[in-house]
Amino acid sequence: MHIGFGSDVSGWREADYALWTDTEELVGDADLLVTAEALIGLAVGIPTLVWFWRVRGNAEVFAPGEHRYSPGMAIGSWFIPVASWIIPGRITFDIWYASLQDRYRGRPGEQGWGTGLYWPGRTRLAWWWVSTIVFSIAAAVLVFLPDVLASAVHYPEYIDFGQMLTAIRWAVFLHLLCIPGAVLTISVIRRLTELQEARVYRR
């Protein structure tokens, strides 16, 4: 849909003309789209937070005392400004390490984050966390897209088509940038769930 917005604005810029009603409609559609994306984010985010809290509880059973943060921080840390770029990632590393079979872990009671061991999944988690930070920044920027588009419409003097097109191109780029993060998130959730199931049943 953002690409469609870009196509419309490109046409307006080439013609150096657009109806005020058309530009207002595009800004309204962009606002509606961003709102819909936020609601979809909540619909996906809430169950994911619950899952994260549950795997953190399981990890406490697997390796009591090996975690840097309390179980409550598995949810709360996501809502702390700046710290949300650090603490949830650390919690995930702890959960993952605690969920590994004993043969992949260090000495008993040894925290994975404090060892030089390159245990299975460490690289995947690192890339996933980088993509999560990128996603959070992209989402924060996209919230302001409708405002940027609206500020380009100077009724009744002129419309800054260049500003509108630049904003839409950034929106498309940021969305594309988040696709690898979505794939990595699905991969981490599936693999961590499998690790915990295998540890429970000693497979």
Cα distance between residue 2 and residue 200, in whole Å? 45
pLDDT at 108: 58
pLDDT at 88: 96
Cα distance between residue 86 and residue 127, in whole Å? 14
- Angle at alpha carbon of residue 166, lines to 136 and 164, rounded to 5°: 105
pLDDT at 175: 95
Structure token digits, residue 131: 């993509």
Which residue ranges in the chain fall short of pLDDT 70?
107-116, 203
Identify the burial level of 125 via C-beta atoms within 10 angstroms of its C-beta, where 0-12 means exposed, 13-18 middle and 19 or more buried. buried
Helices (H), the chain: 2-15, 20-62, 73-76, 87-99, 122-142, 145-151, 161-201
The candidate with the shortest Cα–Cα distance to 127, out of 188, 45, 196, is 188
- DSSP assignment of 115-166 equals S----TTHHHHHHHHHHHHHHHHHHHHHTTHHHHHHHTEETTTEE-HHHHHH
pLDDT digits (tens, 9 = 90+) for 14-72: 999 999 999 999 999 999 999 999 999 999 999 999 999 999 999 999 988 889 999 99
31-63 per-residue burial string, b: 16 or more CB within 10 A, e: under 16 = eebbeeeeeeeeeeeeeebeebeebbebbbebb
pLDDT at 107: 66
pLDDT at 104: 82
**Residue length of the chain:** 203
Q: Please compute, for residue 196, the number of CA atoms within 13 A of its CA located in the half-sphere on the CB side.
A: 21
